[in-house]
Amino acid sequence: MISRVETLLVDVPAIRPHRLSVATVNVQTLVLVHLVCDDGVEGWGEATTIGGLSYGEESPESIKVNIDRWMAPLLVGHDASQVARLMARLNRAVRGNHFAKCALETALMDAQARRLNIPLSELLGGRLHDELSVAWTLASGDTEKDITEAQSMLALRRHRIFKLKIGSRRPEEDVAHVLAVQRELGDSVSIRVDVNQAWSEYEAERSIALLEAGGIEAVEQPIDAANRAGLARLAQRFTIAIMADEALKSPLDALDLARGAAADVFSVKISPPGGLTAARRMADIAVLSGIALYGGTMLEGSVGTAASAHLFSTFPKLSFGSELFGPLLLTEDILREPLVYRDFMLQVPQGAGLGIAVDEEKVAALCRR
Ligand SMILES: O=C(O)/C=C\C=C/C(=O)O
Ligand SMILES: [Mn+2]
């Protein structure tokens, strides 16, 4: 039986300002859900987002208040082993709130997998991979700094796939920045860009033509998430991969994008669609539609990153790899043993449940009162 559900807000400084077109992240607020059951089994989940309300419609504070007031009371006192039934009950009573639901489902699944003494991946269809390639995002806002940072990541053998955040400068400045980095790093690395919806379709047409000519591998969400027809026109027009991200807020969005051939790649994330089960449905739609997969991040900490890694490990092919680097962007880690990043890969945890141990004293010391 579920005894209690706690939602903790943990503010962790980033190693450097992380500049997206929608927000600059100096401090990341981890939204952690801690589930305690009366059989002594515990589970953790995470609902971290980016830039307050500038990326999505839930903020750390709204997630906490909505879980505490409207969702936790639907779970406490109920049988923790009935995860699907509990989530069905939650989905009947609560509209939207996908990030909050993701944290709750993850915590329930973490606990149930621990109860069964199996890794979480085995509740999600079974793992096919024990490690995932991890891209790094260059987002310092300065071309020279980005190049130096990329070279150090290569030297560390931590990353050789780089995603450049653009969209806050004039398109021609952004394109020049990207091509300068590409020229400097050479063909041994893969360079992609993420515009986070900042361009009009007209700006996207002109800019993507230049990026394609410059050998860039993919363009993530160049235009407004709601403009699916525009994304389809861009996907048909160019050979460079067009990746959907913010457009993917549910498995139904995935179906609509697939029906309209509106993207070459889906960035699958666990929170926007509402959890691991929904994210897995999105990936199934991509696989069946011949759309490539990329394992996305919301700059979660180690809990959400581990949960994402367990899910992504069950995908047949992540042809664009993953970007599960969130813990590496933060100055504090909340695990007793940090996740293992080695030889350009993240090791998918092997233990029961998420396969991690949260340092509860550290979380208690860092979390907001
Ligand atoms: O900020 C990053 O580096 C990675 C992903 C974040 C959001 C997104 O993909 O839009
Ligand atoms: Mn993105």
Q: Does residue 275 carry a pLDDT above 90?
A: yes
Query: 269 catalytic, yes or no?
Result: no
Q: Tell me, using a 6 A CB cutoff, whether residue 300 lines ligand 1.
A: no
Which is the catalytic residue, given 64, 101, 165, 249?
Answer: 165
**Whether residue 106 is found in the same domain as residue 169:** no
Residue nearest to atom 2 of ligand 1 (CA): 137
**Whether residue 137 is found in the same domain as residue 232:** yes
In what side-by-side order are the strands of the sheet with 341-342? 131-133, 345-347, 341-342
Residue nearest to atom 6 of ligand 1 (CA): 298
ipTM of this complex prediction, to 2 decimal places: 0.96
Residue nearest to atom 10 of ligand 1 (CA): 196
**Whether residue 278 is found in the same domain as residue 153:** yes
**Whether residue 61 is found in the same domain as residue 45:** yes
pLDDT digits over 29-87, tens only? 999 999 999 999 999 999 999 999 999 999 999 999 999 999 999 999 999 999 999 99
Residue nearest to atom 7 of ligand 1 (CA): 298
Band (pLDDT 50/70/90 cuts) for residue 285 is: very high
pTM value is 0.98
Q: What pLDDT does residue 167 have?
A: 97
Is 366 exposed, middle or buried (CB count within 10 Å of its CB: 0-12, 13-18, 19+)?
A: middle
Beta-bridge mates of residue 138: 164
Q: Tell me, using a 6 A CB cutoff, whether residue 195 lines ligand 1.
A: no
Q: Does residue 6 carry a pLDDT above 90?
A: yes
Look up tokens 């994402």; give the residue. Answer: 308
**Whether residue 150 is found in the same domain as residue 55:** no
Beta-bridge mates of residue 44: 34
Q: Tell me, using a 6 A CB cutoff, whether residue 196 lines ligand 1.
A: yes
Q: What pLDDT does residue 187 have?
A: 87
pLDDT digits over 212-233, tens only? 999 999 999 999 999 999 999 9
pLDDT digits over 123-167, tens only? 999 999 999 999 999 999 999 999 999 999 999 999 999 999 999
Give a yes or no: residue 265 inside a domain. yes
pLDDT digits over 301-329, tens only? 999 999 999 999 999 999 999 999 999 99
**Whether residue 216 is found in the same domain as residue 68:** no
Query: 184 catalytic, yes or no?
Result: no
| CA neighbor of 265 nearest in space, from 233, 287, 237 | 287
The CATH number assigned to the domain holding 63 equals: 3.30.390.10
**Whether residue 185 is found in the same domain as residue 203:** yes
Which ligand sits closest to the CA of 139?
A: 1
Beta-bridge mates of residue 342: 345
Q: Tell me, using a 6 A CB cutoff, whether residue 323 lines ligand 1.
A: yes
DSSP line for 134-195: B-EEE-SS-HHHHHHHHHHHHHTTS-SEEEEE--SS-HHHHHHHHHHHHHHH-TTSEEEEE-
Average pLDDT of span 239-249: 98
Buried b (16+ CB within 10 A) or exposed e, 139-159: bbbebeebbebbeebbeeebb
**Whether residue 181 is found in the same domain as residue 231:** yes
Alpha-carbon gap, residue 116 to 124, rounded angstroms: 13
Q: What pLDDT does residue 253 have?
A: 98
Give a yes or no: residue 268 inside a domain. yes
Give a yes or no: residue 171 inside a domain. yes
Q: What pLDDT does residue 154 have?
A: 98
pLDDT digits over 175-209, tens only? 999 999 999 999 889 999 999 999 999 999 999 99
Give a yes or no: residue 98 inside a domain. yes
Alpha helical stretches, state H, the chain: 60-66, 72-75, 83-93, 98-116, 143-155, 171-185, 201-213, 228-237, 251-259, 276-289, 302-312, 360-366
**Whether residue 163 is found in the same domain as residue 104:** no
Residue nearest to atom 3 of ligand 1 (CA): 137
Give a yes or no: residue 188 inside a domain. yes
**Whether residue 309 is found in the same domain as residue 362:** no
The CATH number assigned to the domain holding 154 equals: 3.20.20.120
Q: What pLDDT does residue 294 have?
A: 99
Nearest ligand 1 atom to the CA of 329 is 3
Distance 210 CA to ligand 1 centre (A): 22
**Whether residue 154 is found in the same domain as residue 27:** no
Give a yes or no: residue 352 inside a domain. no
| Residue 149 structural domain | 123-347
Alpha-carbon gap, residue 167 to 302, rounded angstroms: 28
Which ligand sits closest to the CA of 243?
A: 2
Nearest ligand 1 atom to the CA of 137 is 3
Nearest ligand 1 atom to the CA of 269 is 9
Look up tokens 């860009």; give the residue. Answer: 193
Q: What pLDDT does residue 8 have?
A: 98
pLDDT digits over 91-102, tens only? 999 999 999 999
Q: Tell me, using a 6 A CB cutoff, whether residue 299 lines ligand 1.
A: yes
> Residue 27's CB: how many other CB atoms inside 10 A?
11
Distance 205 CA to ligand 1 centre (A): 22
Give a yes or no: residue 353 inside a domain. no
* Domains: count for the chain: 2
Alpha-carbon gap, residue 238 to 320, rounded angstroms: 17
**Whether residue 128 is found in the same domain as residue 114:** no
Q: Does residue 369 carry a pLDDT above 90?
A: no
Q: What pLDDT does residue 13 have?
A: 98
